[in-house]
Structure 1
Amino acid sequence: MEMKTLDTEFVEIHPRNSYLSPKELIAHRHKEFEVPSGGLKRTQNEGTASELEELKRAQDHLRAQLSVPRIERLGGRALATWNEEQQVAEVLRKDGKFENFGHSEQGKLYLEYYEALFLLELGRLQLEYYGLVVSIEQAYVLLLGELESEKYTNYLVYSALSRAGYIVVRHKPPEATPESVTKADCIWALLKKIVGNHLVPDRIKASPFYAVVDKQMEDNKELIISQKIKEPEDTEESINLQFDSKKRKANDEPIEEPESKKEKLSTSGRSLVDHLKTEFSYTKFEEVFEKFDIVQLERQDYATNEFTVSSLKITFDLHLHNEGYKKSSPNPPNFNVIILTSQEAFPTHDDISKIQNQYLHTAPLLVVSVSESKQIQAFLYFIS
């Protein structure tokens, strides 16, 4: 191997011999290059000598950074080709673990655009397009497109969450089958129909629990309306109206007057409300009232003839690594991700209610906002 030292103190490998010693492999494998910071913002006019000198210095640093020899294991990359028509990357050769990436169709593994670009950045994928190897810079244009779209925002969120340790997969809406409907779903659908004039979804009506729950609620309603309050039995002792004819001496001890009017009106030191709470009717009402779940309505302008479709869209599902995620039989996700651009406002109470009415969510909602400066903020919404 023939080497020579450049003025920039970097090593150039002679192309006639590509073999390196173990020491040289380790040195080039962990080669680091730090670009100096640009400093404060310049306020001078364009075209000055200081500006030209600064631009030349920045170009020299960039050229030196790109000229650093890099050692990579080409055999550790998977191979895929980009299908422009379907907008997916077809994996031709796998290398390493791919249990959290891609989806299978007819025995072939396909990667979404954000998965392919993420693996490209990690150096785990070699992407080809019409037989030519695609660089990372070309992949940004090929996979995300030249025009501004939601693809770039989705990829930023996907990359950030994946690097944070989450398993990020494409959102799969819950299957709309009558078998997946529970008794609780039927109860809530009937309550929304009575309280908010909402239509009951067809998949709820087709459930075998719907007719049973509907009849039980009607029976309970009739029981509450037409129930007869049983009067308590009179267990008080009879009053003896025979008075003693002998005169009794007056009590020498003075009677203490109660300080408050409330105590003065009560012979036992309790108010009138306290006496009413001991009545049988109040106790019966309290027992019935405790069985109800109070539903607070913020607004009452919901559609009476059809469901209003929410403009929010769930893009990703998040799973935790330590919960044994399996792509073939995945568990319910830990979070559903909604991605907002810088122009979109955060969801209101009505927007969350619409998502709940459409049964779009399968887990707590994680709303992620991407600002114009590409900063990401996430907020967790719990639907109760």
Structure 2
Amino acid sequence: MDGANLIGITSKRQFLSATDLIVERHAEVETPAIGLKRTSIEGTPAEEEELKNAYANLRRQLSARRIERQAGRAVAHWHEDQQAAEVLRKDGKFESFGYSKQGKLYLEYYEALFLLELNRLQLEYCEMIVSVEQAYVLLLGEAASEKFNNYLVYSTLSRAGYIVVKHQANTTTSTSTAAVVTSEHCIWALLDEALGHKPVPAHIKASSLYKATKERWSEVKQQIMSHQTTTLEDDNSLDFKFETRKRKAQSQPQEQSKRICRDKPTKSLVNHLKAEPSFKKFQEIFEKLDIIQLQLTDDDSEMNKELRHFKISFDLHLHNEGFRRSAPKSPTFSVVILPTDEPFPTHDELLQCWRQQLSHAVPLLVISVSESKQIQAFLYYIS
């Protein structure tokens, strides 16, 4: 390219004014509403027209000017071996993003891609700046995997206002967990072993209370089976005293009192409570809920089947609860993401997944992602 052409190109370059910068920075392109699913044969003129409009709308979104402040973005470098992005320069608040390792801040692949889409992160790889399109292939991979579903759920919940963090599996040693094990934990573990044929966890067996609780359990069980009680050592030692004085006669006959009681309207305590305004309001709200009771597996053939294992992917926190990564509280929900075309878990499988939370048992939010990338979420409360 000669000098004349270079001067001509430079002279044609235009700079935006302050007003144009403000307008272009907050420009939004509306996407057309999605209509009903088409059932006609492919290749029809109506389908070609719809695809043409969709491509034009997509081209309009991509060609829109994006004015952002480059200094307002953090800088991170993607490590392929660690599958994490090392933050080289922070900008803004990173309270709910990333994890620390050897004094450095790292971002998970879904966190880095989410911040990249929000234009809060500049991702670099091999000393090159990665675009959003390249980041999808680099961070999620070209082959089909669960990473895309995890990111789709993470992005949707984060945009909805939740604080989404990676679920911390309880992998503490027996010495550290034995200190928080109480007698109630030992009793429930023994009940699960006796009634549900489930083994006692190792951290409960290592507790000093487990042996004493098991011995007391055997004593109580033997007393119940032999119909012996330890509360009454000697029945003869009890001194029953009965009142020997005569009672006064009633002022009016018994038949008249019965007649008076019949004349009065009888209204129980339950009926009184049902007449309260709070009960009526609760009844109106309760009728709107879609409650489905899960059935237990009574059939022996169903009980003998191997239960599927569902892992907990994320923990959800609310913004108004004062979330702190250094000292996190119990999450509001625990998220379980089902693979595509995977049937919903049964009662026993949900109970098994719920018991993975040894430190805090919170409701499970089971999310299913369809082939069309639509999300369906169901909340399960287990008591």
Task: With the length of structure 1 as denominator, give the TM-score of the two structures.
Answer: 0.69
Matches within 5 A, 1:95-110: 95-110=91-106
**Counterpart Cα distance in 2 of 1:39 and 1:236:** 83
Query: CA 1:77 to 1:14, structure 2 compared with 1: closer, same or farther past 3 Å?
Result: farther
Matches within 5 A, 1:213-362: 213-224=213-224, 225-227=226-228, 230=235, 298-299=297-298, 310-356=308-354, 362=361
Query: CA 1:47 to 1:341, structure 2 compared with 1: closer, same or farther past 3 Å?
Result: closer
- The equivalent position to 1:68 in structure 2, one of 40, 64, 89, is 64
* Residue of structure 1 in register with 2:208 after alignment: 208
Query: CA 1:211 to 1:31, structure 2 compared with 1: closer, same or farther past 3 Å?
Result: same
Pairwise CA distance, 1:125: 0.5
* Residue of structure 2 in register with 1:280 after alignment: none
* Residue of structure 2 in register with 1:78 after alignment: 74
**Counterpart Cα distance in 2 of 1:14 and 1:362:** 67
Query: CA 1:143 to 1:14, structure 2 compared with 1: closer, same or farther past 3 Å?
Result: farther
**CA deviation profile, 1:322-350 (whole Å, cap 9, x unmatched):** 11111111112221111012311111122
Structure 2 unaligned segments of length 5 or more: list them.
Answer: 1-9, 244-294
* Residue of structure 2 in register with 1:363 after alignment: 362
**Considering only CA atoms, is the larger Rg found in Structure 1 or Structure 2?**
1
* Residue of structure 2 in register with 1:187 after alignment: 187
- The equivalent position to 1:118 in structure 2, one of 98, 114, 124, is 114
Query: CA 1:45 to 1:14, structure 2 compared with 1: closer, same or farther past 3 Å?
Result: farther
**Aligned positions, number:** 308
**Counterpart Cα distance in 1 of 2:162 and 2:374:** 19
**Counterpart Cα distance in 2 of 1:21 and 1:369:** 48
The letter for the 2-side match of 1:164 is A
* Residue of structure 2 in register with 1:256 after alignment: none
Query: CA 1:314 to 1:66, structure 2 compared with 1: closer, same or farther past 3 Å?
Result: closer
Greater Cα offset, 362-371 or 128-137: 362-371
Query: CA 1:25 to 1:355, structure 2 compared with 1: closer, same or farther past 3 Å?
Result: closer
**Counterpart Cα distance in 1 of 2:321 and 2:356:** 28
Q: Secondary structure at the match of 2:179?
A: helix
**Counterpart Cα distance in 2 of 1:156 and 1:29:** 26
- The equivalent position to 1:31 in structure 2, one of 10, 27, 41, is 27
The letter for the 1-side match of 2:99 is H
* Residue of structure 1 in register with 2:380 after alignment: 381
Q: Secondary structure at the match of 2:315?
A: strand
**Counterpart Cα distance in 2 of 1:172 and 1:227:** 47
Pairwise CA distance, 1:120: 0.8
* Residue of structure 2 in register with 1:286 after alignment: none
**Counterpart Cα distance in 2 of 1:46 and 1:130:** 43
Q: Percent identity?
A: 56
Pairwise CA distance, 1:222: 3.7
The letter for the 2-side match of 1:207 is S
Pairwise CA distance, 1:115: 0.3
**Counterpart Cα distance in 2 of 1:143 and 1:122:** 16
* Contact persistence 2:312–2:353 (CA under 8 A): no
Pairwise CA distance, 1:201: 2.1
* Contact persistence 2:355–2:361 (CA under 8 A): no
Pairwise CA distance, 1:33: 3.4
* Contact persistence 2:163–2:317 (CA under 8 A): yes
Structure 1 unaligned segments of length 5 or more: list them.
Answer: 1-12, 238-295
